């Protein structure tokens, strides 16, 4: 008689309900892919009265979270509370009680990942987290297993559906940020307080998880340079298009020859013909560049109950099969072991997009070009958009690759020389 | 003391050399991701004299293949011979000798997959094959593990780099098939005898592997409807573009509500704005649509030593870690258990693109439309390109969804009524 694997579900909101729903709807299929039966044995949530649009045994629902986490009959805990407070206690306690844990909590992992993985290892259990980045997009499993013979040099990801939805609609419908944000909030694609998404913090958390795995370093969110999309104007998207680019909020992580990592989140110009450029609306995609694998891209819905539940259950099924196969420590994951070694943003070397408002006088362009030249920055393209003839001209520059530190010096010099009406707006370019 | 896992490499050509090269170049990284050391202990190839551009111990190379396959000190056999003859003997013997096998051989799996998986199971060893489809693109592992809670309804894949390279260049450079094929052969992107690629057989093999896994059916290549790209004209690509489409050679597999599978390979019109449409040149991509995961796409280089070696070594590392963890049957894979249940092509329901040369006389379009109407086929778009004014007109139709059987009846009726100068050219459309 094969033992049933008992699962405790912590958090019975949208995603938790989705997990139960997927198990119900695909039960026969899922059972056929398991070498032992699994069962949601207990569910904990602070709200035990609300009606959920899913069939489940009311007797297994409790508001006593810790009684589920510590229940000796439970083999696997699914943590879907989110945040870094109660969720942290839940995950730590479950691991200490030698239960395997599946979580979709990117904030928790970005802040405490390495500690939690160490705790899991100490207790000879697994901590799986496929849904923490890109929901069901199989990027975590691929980094842990498929690309295990590769040196990953670059990660570029559209990791946040809210901001990609906003940028897509700003560009395609030539609308302002605030306007599209409001619509996204109405559709439920953006939170009432959108700060976390639009300022890039959510992308930064996910990038930490990917970069830590790919580079074998313990990279946490305080190491990430973060810039959101609130200052991007619809005009920038129009100019970018004219120049053959599209603007995406990217999480970018690169590892140089000497093992130094750069980890940054900012709106970025990428070529319109690139595969990442075709990722529209709420979709996510992660591009990996490695040796010898070359370029890869994984794409899908990065949020929502369906994609997230698929990722969570994939982890649960994996664990159940590993437990049933009698492995010692099932599923040893490629967790970060090394110390972080981060390159400061001032040492970044990339191309830039600059939107400036210059005095519309003869020789002005030459004066700006001289300031750039003094800092070893060479101009690739100039696009002049006269906005206020005889007074001011809007000028767009795309530079060749230059040092971020030098760019800042050039911008300071322009400020001193009072060449611009206002602070130039800068975006980075990835070719 | 941790045991070293010994690997026997069968086939020391381009890919085999790449496997050794990747192990050399990333050795430190790979060792850090292993819980036990691995070693290429022996290599077999019919050619033991040729110089290979890689560092290896000449003493481990032999032309006695079977001595390696049967060597009791070998734990894992990598089969890189290709084809279905010697390779079949190698894989079968290795499994019978209770060795785990890693193969990149799609033809072997498309013809004998289910038998080989059964043999592996019988002998309590694993047969892994990530590189058999899309090389290092992690589609096999994702189907086996990541999407294990999903009902996969649709697979659409650009699975052959040669044909995608040809179609991309035909379209972008408005060149003829034969012309681009010749260039592809010069670049080494097409074989001297390109039949296997351009007629769609390679795509069919890969599609069998994917559809079998996704649908849990034993689908072999004789069940696949196959149509190559040799009849596609550069004009078709121009018309498709005008109508908002691009033509790709797709492997398409769908599972309907009653468990019937359709499995087909043919040049297909897809919307230019779709993510698959952005896959250019020798790249491959596989799109999956499932419940609850939604749409997913995995993209990368589908051939070449780097991508293939990455996939092969990912499998080897996975096996080595599983063996070291003490699992009973390491890595139980989601192999097809059910009998095939295939829908014949005549029952296919899809939209069509038709290129016809009609007599250029008043009322001709109405007569054609009547023939379509009689078969319940309704026209979505008509594009008239007068080729020989007063005599013949080239007319392009896009239909709404119709039954393939009805389309064939309509084409027969048109032939009887002698409405067309030559046989209409038909492509299928995926929206």
Alpha-carbon gap, residue B192 to B309, rounded angstroms: 24
Distance of CA B47 to CAs B65, B67, B94, B431, Å?
Answer: 11, 16, 21, 49
Q: Are A138 and B149 in contact (CB < 8 Å)?
A: no
Q: What angle do CA A120, A123, A129 make, to 5 degrees?
A: 20
Q: Is B134 on the interface with A (CB under 8 A)?
A: no
Are B387 and B292 contained in the same domain? no
Instruction: Indicate whether A333 belongs to any domain.
Output: no
> Are residues A296 and A309 both part of a single domain?
no
d(CA B76, CA A135): 34
Q: What is the mean pLDDT of each run of 10 residues along chain B (431 residues)?
A: 88 97 96 92 97 96 98 98 96 97 96 93 93 97 95 98 97 97 93 96 97 93 96 97 97 95 98 93 97 98 96 95 73 68 93 94 91 96 83 93 96 93 95 89
Q: Do A55 and A30 share a domain, yes or no? A: yes
Size of interface A-B (CB pairs under 8 A): 212
pLDDT at A329: 57
Name the token pair of A129: 């987290």
Alpha-helix runs per DSSP H in A1-142: 14-25, 27-32, 65-69, 86-96, 106-122, 139-141
B 158-217 near A (Cβ less than 8 A): 216
Distance from CA of A151 to the nearest CA of B (A): 7
| Inter-residue contact B175 to B169 (CB < 8 Å) | yes
> Do B293 and A301 lie within an 8 Å CB cutoff?
yes
Contact A130, A311 (CB under 8 A): yes
In this structure, the answer to whether residues A243 and A358 fall within a common structural domain is no
Provide the number of structural domains found in chain B.
3
The one-character DSSP state at B145 is I
**A192 part of a folded domain:** yes
Q: Are A267 and A233 in contact (CB under 8 A)?
A: no
Domain range for B229: 140-301
For tokens 């690997």, the residue is B7
Among B106, B110, B109, residue whose Cα is nearest residue B134: B106
pLDDT of residue A253: 98
B317 and A216 in contact by Cβ < 8 A?
no
Q: What is the pLDDT of residue A361?
A: 86
- CB of A141 less than 8 A from some CB of B: yes
Is A320 an 8 Å CB contact of chain B? Answer: no
Are A310 and B150 a contacting pair at CB < 8 A?
yes
A138 and B146: CB-CB below 8 Å? yes
Q: Are residues A109 and A88 in the same domain?
A: yes
Same domain, A39 and A68: yes
A154 and A296 share a domain?
Answer: yes
* Catalytic pick among A206, A248, A254, A340: A206
Last residue of a domain, one of A269, A290, A325: A325
Contact B310 A337 (CB under 8 A): no
Is residue A331 a part of any domain in this protein? no
| pLDDT tens string A243-276 | 999 999 999 999 999 999 999 999 999 999 899 9
Residue B15 within a domain: yes
CB contact under 8 A, B35 and A332: yes
Residue whose C-alpha is closest to residue B202's, from B158, B234, B169: B158
Rg, C-alpha atoms of chain B = 24
Q: Which of B260, B291, B325 finishes a domain?
A: B325
| In a shared domain, residues A162 and A291 | yes
Q: Which of B22, B278, B328 sits opposite A275 (nearest CB)?
A: B278
β-sheet bridge partners, residue A426: A354
Per the CB < 8 Å rule, is B317 touching A145?
Answer: yes
- Same domain for B34 and B118: yes
ipTM comes to: 0.95
Angstroms from A389 CA to nearest CA on chain B: 39
What tokens does B431 get? 């929206």
- Residue B169 lies inside a defined structural domain of this protein: yes
Cα angle B413-B418-B421, degrees, rounded to a multiple of 5: 120
User: Which residue of chain A comes nearest to B275, CA vs CA?
Assistant: A278
Closest residue to A310, CB basis, from B30, B137, B147: B147
Q: Is there a domain that residue B159 lies in?
A: yes
Same domain, A81 and A189: no
Q: Which tokens hold the place of A283?
A: 């979709």
10-residue mean pLDDT profile of chain A (431 residues): values are 88 97 96 92 97 96 98 98 96 97 96 93 93 97 95 98 97 97 93 96 97 93 95 97 97 95 98 93 97 98 96 95 73 68 93 94 91 96 83 93 96 93 95 89
Residue A118: CATH number of its domain: 3.40.50.720
Chain B residue nearest residue A31, CA to CA: B149
Question: Does some domain include residue A335?
Answer: no
**Interchain proximity A138–B148, CB inside 8 Å:** no
What is the pTM for the complete model shown?
Answer: 0.95
pLDDT of residue A195: 97
Minimum distance, in Å, between the CA of residue B307 and any CA atom of chain A: 4
In a domain, B333, yes or no: no
- The pair of three-digit structure tokens given for residue B84, joined into one six-digit string: 């279905």
Task: Give how far A211 is from chain B: nearest CA, Å.
Answer: 15
Residue of A139, A135, A188 lying closest to A160 (CA atoms): A135
| A314 touches B: beta carbon within 8 Å | yes
> Does the distance separating the beta carbons of B279 and A149 come in below 8 Å?
no
Q: Is A362 exposed, middle or buried (0-12, 13-18, 19+ CB in 10 A)?
A: exposed
Q: Is B130 on the interface with A (CB under 8 A)?
A: yes
Segment A70-119, tens digit of pLDDT: 999 999 999 999 999 999 999 999 999 999 999 999 999 999 999 999 99
Shortest Cα distance from B323 to chain A (angstroms)? Answer: 9
* B121 and B268, same domain (yes or no): no
Angle in degrees, CA B314, B320, B324, rounded to 5: 145
A277 contacts in chain B (CB < 8 Å) = 278
Minimal CA–CA distance to B11: which of B308, B411, B376? B308
The enclosing domain of A283 has a CATH number of 3.30.360.10
End position of a domain, from candidates A274, A291, A325: A325
- Closest CA in chain B for residue A128: B146
Residue A395: which of A342, A346, A359, A349 has the closest Cα? A359
Tell me the backbone φ, ψ of residue A207, rounded to 5 degrees: -65, -40
| Structural contact between residues B38 and B9, judged by C-beta atoms closer than 8 angstroms | no
Query: What per-residue confidence (pLDDT) applies to B134?
Result: 97
Pair (A111, A162) in one structural domain: no
What residues of B are in contact with residue A126 (Cβ under 8 Å)? none
- Which of chain A's residues have a Cβ under 8 Å away from the Cβ of B277? 278
């Amino acid at each position: 008689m094969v033992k049933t694997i008992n699962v405790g579900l912590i958090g019975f909101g949208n995603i938790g309900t989705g997990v139960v729903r997927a198990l119900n709807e695909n039960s026969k299929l899922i059972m056929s892919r398991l070498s032992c039966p699994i069962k949601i044995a207990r569910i904990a949530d602070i709200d035990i009265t609300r009606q959920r649009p899913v069939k489940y045994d009311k007797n297994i629902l409790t508001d006593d979270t810790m009684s589920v986490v510590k229940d000796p009959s439970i083999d696997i805990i699914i943590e879907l509370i989110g945040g870094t407070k109660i969720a942290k206690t839940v995950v730590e306690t479950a691991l200490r009680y030698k239960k395997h844990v599946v979580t979709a909590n990117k904030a928790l992992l970005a802040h405490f990942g390495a500690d939690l993985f160490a705790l899991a290892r100490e207790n000879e259990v697994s901590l799986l987290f496929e849904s923490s980045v890109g929901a069901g997009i199989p990027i975590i499993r691929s980094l842990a297993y498929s690309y295990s013979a590769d040196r990953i040099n670059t990660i570029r990801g559209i990791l946040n559906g809210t901001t990609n939805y906003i940028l897509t609609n700003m560009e395609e419908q030539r609308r302002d940020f605030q306007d599209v944000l409001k619509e996204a909030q109405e559709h439920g694609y953006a939170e009432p307080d959108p700060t976390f998404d639009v300022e890039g913090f959510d992308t930064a958390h996910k990038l930490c998880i990917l970069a830590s795995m790919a580079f074998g370093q313990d990279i946490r969110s305080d190491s990430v340079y973060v810039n959101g999309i609130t200052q991007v104007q619809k005009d920038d998207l129009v100019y970018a298009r004219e120049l053959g680019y599209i603007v995406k909020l990217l999480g970018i992580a690169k590892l140089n020859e000497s093992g130094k990592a750069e980890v940054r989140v900012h709106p970025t110009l990428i070529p319109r013909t690139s595969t990442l450029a075709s990722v529209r609306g709420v979709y996510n995609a992660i591009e990996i560049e490695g040796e010898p694998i070359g370029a890869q891209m994984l794409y899908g819905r990065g949020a929502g109950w369906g994609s997230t539940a698929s990722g969570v259950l994939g982890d649960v099924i994996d664990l159940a099969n590993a437990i049933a196969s009698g492995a010692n420590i099932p599923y040893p994951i490629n967790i970060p072991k090394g110390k972080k070694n981060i390159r400061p943003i001032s040492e970044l070397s990339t191309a830039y997009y600059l939107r400036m408002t210059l005095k519309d006088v003869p020789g002005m362009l030459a004066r700006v070009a001289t300031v750039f030249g003094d800092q070893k920055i060479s101009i690739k393209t100039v696009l002049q958009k006269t906005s206020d003839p005889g007074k001011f001209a809007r000028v767009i520059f795309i530079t060749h690759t230059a040092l971020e530190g030098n760019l800042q010096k050039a911008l300071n010099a322009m400020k001193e020389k009072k060449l611009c009406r206002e602070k130039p707006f800068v975006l980075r370019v990835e070719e």
